[in-house]
Amino acid sequence: MRNDKLIINRRQLIRGAAGGAALSVPILHFVREAYAEQYCNMPTGKEVVLGFNVPQTGAYADEGADELRAFKLAVKHLNGEGDGGMLNTFKPSALKGNGVLGKKVAFVTGDTQTKSDAARASAKRMIEKDKAIMISGGSSSGVAIAVQSLCQDMGVIFMAGLTHSNDTTGKDKRKHGFRHFFNTEMTGAALAPVLAKEYGTDRKAYHLTADYTWGWSQEGSIKKYTEALGWKTVKAVRTPLGAGDFSQYLTPVLNSGADVLVLNHYGKDMVNSLTQAVQFGMRDKQVNGKQFQIVVPLFSRLMAQGAGEAIKGIYGSTNWNWQMTDEASKAFVKSFGKEYGFPPSQAAQTCYVQTILYANACEMAGTFAPAGVIKALEGFKFDGLGNGPTEYRAADHQCFKDVLVVKGKEKPASKYDLLEVVDITPRSKVEYEAKMLGGDLGPVNMKPC
């Protein structure tokens, strides 16, 4: 009769342990992969796909085209082609110049048309059909907020392109969304002291504001910081997007008693309203014993080109300018200029940087899984990407860095030489508490899409 008791001698125990260990390797590997497949669009082949969602048609198409150029250049550099651009100056860098995590970087593009619904549809297509693991781009805060929310819901990372509204990393912030570009709060904090220094503290301002999230945000920030320095706001008038002829909004300014006009407009609206304000003789006018002034808080070189002569001497702020003299900016301008024959815009720079930062975060995390990438980006401190020392604040996924205050150049040396940097406001002066702008990042979404 056999003894039913389990009797294990020392030899059997060692043999069993060795067998168990040998078996556990593939099992653990299987379990890890099985877990990894739980996130959206986990790359399984030799390539990783990024989705670049930019305005290819509509009013911001030229800006979108520049963003796309920058994305293509970033992909080229990540795959170890070209001169490497800012990959040579970026630190600390985990990038190896062989793609990301050994996979070649491929990309697909979409057209936002600068419309939230079209942008969401295009991003959804890139995620569902093209298996994009990260979405980037956009030239409008309305679009950025809409796509950021979609990326959160679908479980992919959104690296915002040009979006300036506080809401993107304020009340509408999301765990999967990250913004390198600055915001209206920073513009207000940086620009107001320069305005007060140049035009004095006893000023009466009249705001014309684009009637959507970015315009409201910009108006609020400029009012807050200029009023704190003694300025008074006579009136703030909302103008419809794409109004074209602003004469009916400009003429009341002439009789309002205001001596400063703040144009919270961007793109085509800015070009039109500024040009028309100058035509109405506002820059030649004396009000309250002072020279009348016009301020355009957010500048873009592409828009300055559109405004032509009217931009000369006008103050504003910008995220980056191609004439910066740091080594990183010079490397980027050289690389971009060689590729395309002209310097990059601020939109191009932020899109290039965002692609590099995403790739680097994947390398740091050792995975494409959103949880790992988010953890690597949160609180990441870096330098050598054109804006000096920068930090991705963990609390709201907003980059904090120095802000440039610029002025339209009086005597441009070339058609690209349009802005003159008048002040570099240090990060410490534009930083604010994350809770001030409200919102909630929400959870990491690791669900499959």
Shortest Cβ distance from residue 277 to other proteins (Å)?
10
Q: Is 88 in the site for other proteins (CB under 8 A)?
A: no
Measured at the alpha carbon of residue 253, what is the angle toward residues 250 and 258, in degrees to the nearest 5? 150
CA 104 to chain centre: 24
Q: Is 284 in the site for other proteins (CB under 8 A)?
A: yes
Binding test (CB under 8 A) with other proteins, winner from 42, 43, 47, 61 = 61
146's CB contacts (< 8 A; 6+ apart) are 116, 117, 119, 120
Shortest Cβ distance from residue 306 to other proteins (Å)?
5
Phi and psi, residue 106, nearest 5°: -115, 165
Q: Is 288 in the site for other proteins (CB under 8 A)?
A: no
Strand boundaries in 56-138, DSSP class E: 104-111, 134-137
Q: Is 286 in the site for other proteins (CB under 8 A)?
A: yes
Running DSSP on this structure, what letter comes out for residue 193? Answer: H
Helix (H) or strand (E) holding 420: strand 419-425
Q: Tokens 């995390």 identify what position?
A: 365
Sheet containing strand 399-400, strands side by side: 381-382, 390-392, 399-400
Would you say 287 or 359 has its CB closer to other proteins? 287
Q: Is 410 in the site for other proteins (CB under 8 A)?
A: no
Among the listed ranges 122-130, 235-243, 353-361, 404-412, the one in contact with other proteins (CB under 8 A) is 235-243
Would you say 267 or 372 has its CB closer to other proteins? 267
Do residues 448 and 38 make contact, with C-beta atoms less than 8 angstroms apart? yes
Q: Is 294 in the site for other proteins (CB under 8 A)?
A: no
Binding test (CB under 8 A) with other proteins, winner from 285, 375, 393, 409 = 285
Q: Is 252 in the site for other proteins (CB under 8 A)?
A: yes
Q: Tokens 């059909």 identify what position?
A: 129
Cα separation values, 84 from 81, 235, 377, Å: 7, 49, 22
Q: Is 275 in the site for other proteins (CB under 8 A)?
A: yes
Among the listed ranges 27-35, 55-63, 123-131, 194-202, the one in contact with other proteins (CB under 8 A) is 55-63
Residue 72 CB neighbour total at 10 angstroms: 18
The DSSP line for 219-285 is HHHHHHHHHHTT-EEEEEEEE-TT----HHHHHHHHTS--SEEEEE--THHHHHHHHHHHHTTGGG-
Among the listed ranges 98-106, 174-182, 265-273, 439-447, the one in contact with other proteins (CB under 8 A) is 265-273
Q: Is 240 in the site for other proteins (CB under 8 A)?
A: yes
CA 3 to chain centre: 73
- Contacts of 431-435 with CB under 8 Å at 24 or more apart are 431/400, 432/185, 432/189, 434/393, 434/395, 434/396, 434/398, 435/395
Q: Is 235 in the site for other proteins (CB under 8 A)?
A: yes
Per-residue x/- marks for other proteins, 340-369, CB under 8 A? -x-x--------------------------
Would you say 70 or 333 has its CB closer to other proteins? 333
Would you say 170 or 316 has its CB closer to other proteins? 316
Binding test (CB under 8 A) with other proteins, winner from 36, 276, 383, 388 = 276
Q: Is 446 in the site for other proteins (CB under 8 A)?
A: no
Q: Is 330 in the site for other proteins (CB under 8 A)?
A: yes
Would you say 302 or 364 has its CB closer to other proteins? 302
Joined together, the tokens standing for residue 374 give 């988010």
Shortest Cβ distance from residue 194 to other proteins (Å)?
26
Q: Is 308 in the site for other proteins (CB under 8 A)?
A: yes
Q: Tokens 């996979």 identify what position?
A: 103
Do residues 237 and 207 make contact, with C-beta atoms less than 8 angstroms apart? yes
3-state secondary structure of 12: helix
3-state secondary structure of 445: coil
Shortest Cβ distance from residue 337 to other proteins (Å)?
3
Q: Is 379 in the site for other proteins (CB under 8 A)?
A: no
Q: Is 110 in the site for other proteins (CB under 8 A)?
A: no
Residues near other proteins (CB under 8 A) are 57-62, 235, 240, 242, 244-245, 247-249, 251-252, 254-256, 268, 271-272, 275-276, 279-281, 284-286, 302-303, 305-310, 322, 330, 333-338, 341, 343, 414
